[in-house]
C-alpha cells in the first residue's frame, strides 16, 4: 500500500501557476545589448580576482574574473531571468497537464497566455538567443558563455506544454506556428553563434545538454532528420567518452560536486533518449564502445553513498529507468509525480507517460496521456488550492516525494477522491 499526495502536489503547483506573473522583460538590469528582450544571467562560478594591493572602485568592471568550480557567486541573484524562465516553464507545463487531466478550459487559457507573453507578444517576448546566458563580467565586453546555454534547457518544458495545448481551443494554430518559428530561429542561433560553436567542442554535461536541447528543438519544429543526426552523432562521438564500462562518468567525477554533475549529465542523456524515442533511435538499449548505457550509469550511482541532494536527483532517474527497462513493474505506469524539492526549483518535473514515449522532455507527459471526464473535480481542486493551511501541513511530505506509480488510467472516482482528500492509497 502506498500513500501518495500526488493531487495535493498538483493543487499546490496550480496555485503557484495562477499567481506568478512572468516575462523576460520584467528586469531591472539590462544586458549589454540594451535590449531587455535578451535573456540575461551571470556565470554562477565566476568571481572577481582583483590584484593584491590594488584599490579598485568597481571590481565588476575593473578586475578579471576567474572560475571557482562548485562555488556559487551570490551576486548572480541580482538577475532574475533564470528564475522567470523556470517559473514560465513549470507553470505552463503544470497548467497544460491540469487541463489535460481535468478538462478545465481556464487552465489551458492561462497556459496559452503565458506562452504568448514569453514567446510571441512583441512587447514581452524573449529574443530567440542565449547571447548573454551566464555572462562573464570583468574587463572588456560582457558576453555569455557557451556553457550558459544550459540555462535554456527549461524551454523544452514549454515546448512540451505547447504540444499538449494543441488539443485545446485556447492555443491556436497561429500561436503554434509562431512558436515553431521561434524555436526554429533559436535552433539556427545555437548552430551559428560563438557560444554554440564553443559548446560543440566540449565533452562533458554541457555538450550533452546542448545535444538534448537541439535535438528536442528540431523534433518540436518537425525537423526529424536533423534531430536524428544530432542523436546519432552523440552516440558515435560523445557516448563512449562520457560513460565508462562500469557506468562511471569520469568527466563529471572530476568535478567538485561529482555526483551532482553525474546526475546532471544523466538527466540530459535521458532527455536525449526520449527525443530518440520520438524520431526512431533507441538510445536506452544502445551500448557505447565500452558496453555501457543509461542503465549502467544509473546502477553505478546507486552503488555510491550519496548525499541528500544527489540522492534526490538520482531518484528521478531511477524511476524513469525502471519504467523504461521494466525492472520494477510498479513504476511502469501512465503517470509519475516527482520531488518538489529538486535543486532547480519546485515543479512537476516528472509526470511521465512511458507507454507513449514522450519525445521532448525525458520525464514529462506528452499529449496522449489519458484525461478523465470529471465535472466534479474542478470545485474540489479549487477548494484544495484555497486551503493554504492544509498545503502547509503537508509541505514536508512534498519536499522529498519519490516518483511512484498510479493505475494505468485515472478514473473519475479516483480523481474526485484524489482532489477531495489529497492523498490516495493504492493497493
The confidence score (pLDDT) of residue 19 equals 65
Q: Which triple of cell numbers denotes residue 91?
A: 507553470
The confidence score (pLDDT) of residue 103 equals 83
* Residue 167 to residues 4, 97, 333, Cα–Cα distance (Å): 29, 12, 23
Q: CA torsion sign, 310 to 312 to 315 to 316?
A: negative
The confidence score (pLDDT) of residue 250 equals 96
Among 236, 337, 316, 260, residue whose Cα is nearest residue 2: 337
Residues whose CB falls within 8 Å of the CB of residue 403, separated by 6 or more in sequence, listed in order: 315, 316, 319, 320, 331, 336, 337, 338, 339, 350, 352
Residue appearing with cell numbers 497556459: 111
The confidence score (pLDDT) of residue 18 equals 67
What average pLDDT values come out for the chain (427 residues) when binned by 10 residues? 45 68 91 97 92 84 88 92 94 87 88 97 98 92 93 94 93 98 98 97 97 96 97 98 97 94 95 92 96 93 86 82 62 29 31 31 34 43 43 34 27 40 28
Residue appearing with cell numbers 516553464: 89
Instruction: Tell me how crowded residue 90 is: count the other CB atoms within 10 A of its CB.
Output: 25
The confidence score (pLDDT) of residue 7 equals 57
Residues linked to residue 40 through DSSP beta bridges, in sequence order: 132
The confidence score (pLDDT) of residue 8 equals 53
Beta strands in 90-227 (DSSP E): 132-135
- Mutual angle of helices 294-302 and 308-325, in 10-degree steps: 140
Residues linked to residue 425 through DSSP beta bridges, in sequence order: 3
Q: How many CA atoms lie within 13 A of 146 on its CB side?
A: 21
Domain that holds residue 263: 2-426
Q: What are the b/e assignments for 389-412, b being 16+ CB within 10 Å?
A: ebbeebeebbeebebbbbeeebee
The confidence score (pLDDT) of residue 60 equals 87
| pTM beyond cutoff 0.95 | no
Q: Which triple of cell numbers denotes residue 258?
A: 561529482
CB 382 within 8 Å of CB 11: no
Query: What is the domain-level CATH number for residue 12?
Result: 1.50.10.100
Alpha helices in 103-134 (DSSP H): 105-119
The confidence score (pLDDT) of residue 327 equals 52
The confidence score (pLDDT) of residue 350 equals 34
Distance CA 62, CA 71 (A): 21
Domain count, the chain: 1
Amino acid at each position: 500500500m502506498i500513500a501518495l499526495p500526488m493531487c495535493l502536489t498538483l493543487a499546490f503547483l496550480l496555485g503557484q501557476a495562477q499567481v506568478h506573473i512572468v516575462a523576460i522583460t520584467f528586469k531591472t538590469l539590462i544586458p549589454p545589448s540594451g535590449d531587455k528582450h535578451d535573456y540575461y544571467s551571470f556565470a554562477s562560478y565566476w568571481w572577481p580576482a582583483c590584484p593584491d594591493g590594488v584599490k579598485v572602485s568597481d571590481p565588476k568592471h575593473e578586475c578579471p574574473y576567474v572560475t571557482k568550480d562548485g562555488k556559487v557567486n551570490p551576486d548572480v541573484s541580482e538577475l532574475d531571468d533564470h528564475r522567470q524562465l523556470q517559473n514560465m516553464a513549470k507553470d505552463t507545463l503544470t497548467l497544460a497537464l491540469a487541463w489535460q487531466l481535468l478538462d478545465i478550459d481556464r487552465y489551458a487559457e492561462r497556459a496559452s497566455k503565458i506562452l504568448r507573453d514569453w514567446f510571441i507578444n512583441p512587447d514581452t517576448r524573449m529574443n530567440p538567443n542565449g547571447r548573454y546566458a551566464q555572462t562573464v563580467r570583468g574587463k572588456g565586453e560582457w558576453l555569455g558563455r557557451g556553457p550558459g546555454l544550459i540555462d535554456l534547457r527549461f524551454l523544452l518544458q514549454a515546448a512540451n506544454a505547447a504540444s499538449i495545448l494543441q488539443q485545446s481551443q485556447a492555443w491556436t494554430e497561429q500561436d503554434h506556428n509562431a512558436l515553431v518559428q521561434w524555436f526554429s530561429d533559436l535552433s539556427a542561433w545555437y548552430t551559428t553563434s560563438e557560444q554554440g560553436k564553443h559548446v560543440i567542442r566540449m565533452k562533458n554535461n554541457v555538450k550533452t545538454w546542448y545535444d538534448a536541447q537541439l535535438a528536442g528543438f528540431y523534433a518540436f519544429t518537425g525537423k526529424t532528420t536533423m534531430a536524428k543526426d544530432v542523436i546519432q552523432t552523440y552516440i558515435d562521438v560523445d557516448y563512449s567518452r562520457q560513460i565508462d564500462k562500469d557506468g562511471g562518468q569520469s568527466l563529471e567525477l572530476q568535478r567538485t560536486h561529482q555526483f551532482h554533475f553525474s546526475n546532471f549529465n544523466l538527466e540530459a542523456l535521458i532527455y536525449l533518449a526520449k527525443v530518440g524515442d520520438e524520431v526512431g533511435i533507441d538510445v536506452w538499449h544502445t551500448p557505447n564502445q565500452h558496453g555501457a548505457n543509461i542503465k549502467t550509469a544509473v546502477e553505478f550511482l546507486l552503488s555510491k553513498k550519496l548525499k541528500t541532494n544527489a540522492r534526490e536527483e538520482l531518484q528521478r532517474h531511477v524511476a524513469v529507468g525502471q519504467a523504461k527497462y521494466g525492472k520494477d513493474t510498479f513504476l511502469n505506469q501512465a503517470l509519475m509525480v516527482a520531488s518538489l524539492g529538486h535543486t532547480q526549483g519546485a515543479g512537476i518535473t516528472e509526470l511521465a507517460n512511458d507507454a507513449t514515449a514522450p519525445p521532448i522532455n525525458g520525464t514529462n507527459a506528452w499529449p496522449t496521456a489519458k484525461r478523465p471526464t470529471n465535472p466534479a473535480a474542478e470545485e474540489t481542486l479549487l477548494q484544495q488550492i484555497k486551503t493554504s493551511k492544509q498545503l502547509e501541513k503537508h509541505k514536508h511530505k512534498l519536499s522529498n516525494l519519490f516518483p511512484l506509480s498510479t493505475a494505468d488510467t485515472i478514473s473519475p472516482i479516483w480523481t474526485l477522491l484524489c482532489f477531495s482528500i489529497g492523498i490516495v492509497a493504492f493497493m
